Amino acid sequence: MLTLKFIQDNKELVVERLKIKNFDASTIVDSIIELDNRRKATQVEAESFQQEMNALSKEIGQLFKAGKAEEANQAKARTGELKDKIKDLNTSLDEITSQLNEQLVSLPNIPNEIVPPGKGEEDNVEVKNGGTMPQLEVKEPHWDLIKKYDLIDFELGTKITGAGFPVYKGKGARLQRALINFFLDEAEKAGYSEVIPPLVVNEDSGFGTGQLPDKEGQMYHVTADNLYLIPTAEVPVTNIFRDVILKASEMPVKHCAYSACFRREAGSWGAHVRGLNRLHQFDKVEIVQVAHPNESYEILDKMVAHVQTLVEKLGLPWRILRLCGGDLSFTSALTYDFEVYSAAQERWLEVSSVSNFESYQANRLKLRYKEDGEKKAQLAHTLNGSALALPRIVAAILENNQTPDGIRVPEALVPYTGFDIIK
């Protein structure tokens, strides 16, 4: 979340920049500033009364010793009054602080200056593209191909769990595992240290990265234990650094992780969410960095470049979009989406989002760093990206590489699959 100091010092900037996200912040910013001023005034008053009470408490004993019982009793009565006032002020302080925190967490991150205005995905800006569009002799969508070659069983997944939980079989399972290992190996080559995080997190972790309370309805909630299934490995991996103070010389910290991901929302009906296009459970390799604020945008560019190498090595046509304000997430300052072209569906499929959250998550996480020789800790910047999400990558690979003789496996994956064609 944004810091109180930043909001107080940059009221007009916050209101103006959040208009890019189509968020009217004028009322809430005024409320935050008013509550913060009330909080400070209440705290000062309570501290003043506390100081007076402490002074009187010392005097009472001295007055009794000096035989001034009447004055001592008057002072004692005054301390009783002060205790009641301090209690009332502390109660008010708790209420004001609670209201202030509610207002703060409801305020989105401000977008970077280069974020274009817009209401939704139709206003996103293409910044780069590459790859060659496939010329197919046959053109079947992946949901037909997976039945034809017995790669994934959606009906069995529905029987076992429900819609959106597929069962990968045979070469389909092998292809899935090959992609995971390929993405992890490529991340390691790029300097990322692998971790295997828990698949469930507590409320504090969900709050730290901004999933709670904003996306509570999209997460699977284990109510008996008040735990949440992760929507992305970003959540547990970034929370490794909750309440941590790093040395500036330790940054950037680079982690990658494979995990299953769980999301309740499945979108609307139709071809756009058919097959692997939208699932409740899917696999993803995530890259996460904790960076110095002076370096985070250079690092964002490097993370985007890393994802680009992955889609290039898979031989997929790709494009990079800079998300407009209306399509930008609640917590992000700048996001680039990667899309690959699905030849049989004749449409672009989103396979990655790479984002810089600046200090927004770090403020929630209390993730800070210290410059060498400095005593004061400052908020770090956090970044993450999908590298990559598997379902739509699998869909594009199957559709773009189909031939009359079978489905060709991208050359980069052959050492991982052990076969070069699915027949």
Strand boundaries in 206-346, DSSP class E: 221-222, 227-229, 245-247, 253-262, 281-291, 318-322, 334-342
Per DSSP, the three-state class of 367 is: coil
Was 350 annotated as part of a binding site?
Answer: yes
CA 139 to chain centroid, in Å, comes to 37
Tokens standing for residue 361:
């998550």
Residues 236 and 342: their CA atoms lie apart, in Å, by 31
Residues 90, 93, 98, 99, CA torsion sign: positive
Was 264 annotated as part of a binding site?
Answer: yes
- The DSSP element (H or E) to which 349 belongs, if any, is strand 347-356
Strand boundaries in 64-168, DSSP class E: 125-130, 152-153, 167-168
Residue 114 and residue 322 in contact, taking contact as beta carbons nearer than 8 Å: yes
- The DSSP element (H or E) to which 5 belongs, if any, is helix 4-9
Tokens standing for residue 5:
């100091």
Was 42 annotated as part of a binding site?
Answer: no
- DSSP lists the bridge partners of residue 421 as 408
Distances (CA, A) of 228 to 349, 357, 385: 27, 22, 21
Task: Name residue 306's amino acid.
Answer: H
Distances (CA, A) of 103 to 90, 204, 206: 20, 18, 18
Was 353 annotated as part of a binding site?
Answer: yes
Was 265 annotated as part of a binding site?
Answer: yes
Was 70 annotated as part of a binding site?
Answer: no
Distances (CA, A) of 20 to 13, 103, 109, 111, 218: 11, 20, 11, 7, 24
For the chain, the first-to-last Cα distance in angstroms comes to 51
Residue 367 and residue 290 in contact, taking contact as beta carbons nearer than 8 Å: yes
Was 71 annotated as part of a binding site?
Answer: no
Number of C-beta neighbours around residue 156 at 10 A = 13
Was 232 annotated as part of a binding site?
Answer: yes
Residue 255 and residue 288 in contact, taking contact as beta carbons nearer than 8 Å: yes
Task: Name residue 1's amino acid.
Answer: M
Residues annotated in a binding site for ATP = 263-265, 350-353
Residues annotated in a binding site for L-serine = 232, 263, 286, 384
Residues annotated in a binding site = 232, 263-265, 286, 350-353, 384
